[in-house]
Amino acid sequence: MKDNLILNLKIWRQKDRATPGSFVTYTVENVSPDSSFLEMLDLLNENLLTRGENPVAFDHDCREGICGMCSLVINGIPHGYETGTTTCQLHMRKFQSGDTIVIEPWRAKAFPVLKDLIVDRSALDRIIQSGGFISVKTGSAPEANSQPLPKELADQAFAAAACIGCGACVAACTNASAMLFVAAKLGHLSRLPQGRAERHKRVLSMIKAMDAEGFGNCTNEGECEAVCPKEINLAEIARLNRAFLLANLA
């Protein structure tokens, strides 16, 4: 059984959006290797509160890898170096006692830092609002077999819909591009019968919104796919580019 850990944490501290931030180093002891990364930060904050210091602000919600709130850059990698894993699902057994861990917020123009490790990711919400939905009359649930869909398309739509909108793809990209995020949302809806009717309007409006928010362009480096906790395929961006071209020709 692995002994409890002693860790050195180099954490970005920033009072608010208008105040410049800096790194502050803390030492946290008696960290269980079975605890999650966020539980380790909870332990740090308990120690800080006991000493009368301000706790480190960080985003979290479900702590089950579903909501995408746990947006931390750990040792230079969004969500850490465990592939297909969110920060909240990263366990401290992946670290060694005495390690120094550098913890930062997402770094992107479209994600301004609000406090410490919390950034404003509402830009992604506005992209969704611009067209990430379908216009249908609601009512009772339709018969599941009324609109047959090939299994291959259903699987592809499900894989794209797995995107949790965490923004790790943006944080990893040298251009702070949101192309993988937008591609996943469009790829999900455009493969389904309900989403095809508005596919041209949707891709144009979402790309326009993405550009207006200040996200950069994709240069196909692949960092986004490498850090995506849901492992969205880079091919979705190629599909997005094709859909954008066809929409402009329609």
pLDDT of residue 1: 60
What is the pLDDT, as a whole number, of residue 144?
Answer: 65
Q: Which fold has domain 122-135+149-249?
A: Fumarate Reductase Iron-sulfur Protein; Chain B, domain 2 (1.10.1060)
Q: Of 170, 195, 188, 51, which is closest to residue 112 (Cα–Cα)?
A: 170
Residue 132 is predicted with a pLDDT of 78
**For residues 168 and 90, what is the distance between their CA atoms, to the nearest angstrom?**
15
For residues 178 and 223, what is the distance between their CA atoms, to the nearest angstrom?
12
pLDDT of residue 185: 94
Model confidence at 74: pLDDT above 90: yes
Q: Tens of pLDDT along 141-196? A: 667 677 788 899 999 999 999 999 999 999 999 999 999 999 999 999 999 888 88
- Homologous superfamily, domain 5-114: Beta-grasp domain (3.10.20.30)
In tens, the pLDDT along 187-236 reads 999 998 888 889 999 999 999 999 999 999 999 999 999 999 999 999 99
**Predicted local confidence at residue 140, as pLDDT:** 78
Q: For tokens 């979402």, what's the residue?
A: 206
Which pTM does this prediction carry? 0.92
**Residue 80 neighbours by CB under 8 Å, 6+ apart:** 37, 72, 74, 87, 90, 94
pLDDT digits (tens, 9 = 90+) for 28-51: 999 999 999 999 999 999 999 999
Q: Which residue has the higher pLDDT, 132 or 174?
A: 174
Domain regions of the chain by residue span: 5-114, 122-135+149-249
Quote the CA–CA distance of 241 and 247 in Å, as a whole number: 10
